[in-house]
């Protein structure tokens, strides 16, 4: 059964303490709890006294299915030590929102309520602390807050955000808490194995568009979803990722640097200077083979009685072949979207372009879909990655890539 990406159980069996402090963004904490539960996590909410002025414990209990912890003086705990029991049972503590005051208390090691006690008492080697700041832009920019954030990170906490945008006070700037789905994905990424830690990865994704006139053009049905999934998986695995994307409407994965292009020539111009700076190049983009040699300067109008226009075509540059031919070429992986004889065409591409690996699939069956089936073709043979959602396949491909790099001593 194929599971849509937004219904994946990436946090299955993970035990998460969700700390909610007293800021307007506390309402997002409730939605975040719902997202974490949907992702398979067991969520224990812990609310400060000020957080309860914005949302109620009843709401969080309804969303998580667990009683909400609100005080260190909880006598229902057998040993009356909620801060010890909850921190020992957790895989991670996520504080969202984390106010400026709460971050300051973390930096100083103050622990005068249950949530701060939990953060201080957690066994750091097996219970991570993730903090999602939420505050007014001036509060975020204040030197004291920046010092506190730096100290909290030095003490082992991971920062998620903040974002910039419209704030509850009516001002616009940095300090806005990330959205619940972004925080969910940040937590998921935290738990992914860091198989590419320290690596640099360059990825192309999506189609190209070759103009015939200012309105029409030559393109293809590639959605870019596979390339974007690989970019996300590589970033989750600890790599520094640059994504060169053709014309698609997909959100940029967290932590990924994105460059947008339109045509094959633009993609080549963006990729070639970057390729020598990266260890790995993954060419998932479906680059058009041909372009109009002389695109019309104005829209070509259809006129009754006149024959259809004809176009002289010029061959586009082969971006992947150009990168593979560089003197100090990165480890090159190509993609082949075929309509027939998939493995044969993939092997021909592998040999012709002198690649390390070709990932092949049946293009018409996967364009625009959220699932895929892949065949890995190299000099020694081939093997199949069974059908699954594209993010699952992307993570499997990242694991495969890490093994190959290690085997090659790279």
Residue positions annotated with a catalytic role: 169
Kindly state the helix (H) or strand (E) to which residue 260 belongs, with its residue range.
Answer: strand 256-260
Residue 244, token pair as written in the block: 């060169």
What number of CA atoms fall less than 13 Å from residue 307's CA on the CB side? 3
> CA–CA separation, 179 vs 193, rounded Å?
24
> CA–CA separation, 18 vs 289, rounded Å?
51
Q: Where do we find the tokens 């005068």?
A: 112
> CA–CA separation, 52 vs 390, rounded Å?
40
Distant-in-sequence, close-in-space partners of 79: CB < 8 Å, separation ≥ 6:
85
CB 203 within 8 A of CB 228: no
Distant-in-sequence, close-in-space partners of 250: CB < 8 Å, separation ≥ 6:
206, 223, 224, 225, 228
Q: What is the DSSP string of 156-203?
A: T-EE---EEEE-TTS-EEEEEPPPHHHHHHHHHHHHS--TTTT-EEEE
- Cβ atoms < 10 Å from Cβ of 166: 10
- Specify which residues 15 forms β-bridges with: 42
Q: Is 299 exposed, middle or buried (0-12, 13-18, 19+ CB in 10 A)?
A: exposed
Q: Is 93 exposed, middle or buried (0-12, 13-18, 19+ CB in 10 A)?
A: buried
Residue 224, token pair as written in the block: 């870019």
């Amino acid at each position: 059964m194929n599971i849509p990406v937004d219904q994946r159980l990436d946090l299955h069996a993970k035990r998460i303490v969700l700390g909610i402090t007293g800021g307007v963004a506390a309402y997002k904490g409730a939605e975040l709890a719902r997202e974490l539960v949907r992702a398979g996590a067991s969520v224990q909410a812990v609310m400060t006294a000020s957080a309860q002025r914005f949302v109620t414990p009843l709401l969080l209990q309804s969303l998580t299915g667990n009683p909400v912890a609100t005080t260190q003086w909880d006598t229902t705990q057998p040993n009356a030590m909620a801060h010890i029991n909850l921190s020992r049972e957790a895989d991670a503590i996520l504080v969202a929102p984390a106010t400026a005051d709460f971050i300051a208390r973390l930096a100083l090691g103050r622990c005068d309520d249950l949530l701060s006690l939990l953060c201080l008492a957690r066994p750091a080697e097996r219970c991570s602390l993730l903090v999602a700041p939420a505050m007014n832009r001036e509060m975020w920019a204040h030197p004291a807050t920046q010092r506190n954030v730096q100290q909290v990170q030095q003490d082992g906490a991971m920062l998620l955000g903040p974002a910039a945008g419209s704030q509850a006070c009516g001002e616009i700037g940095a300090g806005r808490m990330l959205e619940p789905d972004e925080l969910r994905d940040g937590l998921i990424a935290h738990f992914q194995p860091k198989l590419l830690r320290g690596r640099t990865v360059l990825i192309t994704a999506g189609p190209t568009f070759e103009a015939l006139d200012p309105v029409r053009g030559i393109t293809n049905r590639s959605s870019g979803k596979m390339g974007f999934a690989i970019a996300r998986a590589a970033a989750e695995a600890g790599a520094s990722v640059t994504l060169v994307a053709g014309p698609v409407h997909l959100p940029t994965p967290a932590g990924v640097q994105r460059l947008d292009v339109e045509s094959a020539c633009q993609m080549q111009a963006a990729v070639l200077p970057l390729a020598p700076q990266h260890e790995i190049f993954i060419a998932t983009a479906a680059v058009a083979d041909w372009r109009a040699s002389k695109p019309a300067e104005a829209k070509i109008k259809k006129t009754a009685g006149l024959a259809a226009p004809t176009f002289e075509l010029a061959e586009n540059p082969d971006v992947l072949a150009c990168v593979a031919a560089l003197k100090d070429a990165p480890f090159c992986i190509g993609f082949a979207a075929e309509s027939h004889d998939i493995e044969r065409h993939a092997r021909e591409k592998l040999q012709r372009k002198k690649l390390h690996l070709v990932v092949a699939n049946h293009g018409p069956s996967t364009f625009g879909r959220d699932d895929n089936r892949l065949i890995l073709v190299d000099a020694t043979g081939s093997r199949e990655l069974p059908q699954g959602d594209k993010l699952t396949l992307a993570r499997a491909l990242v694991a495969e890539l890490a093994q190959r790099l290690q085997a090659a001593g790279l």
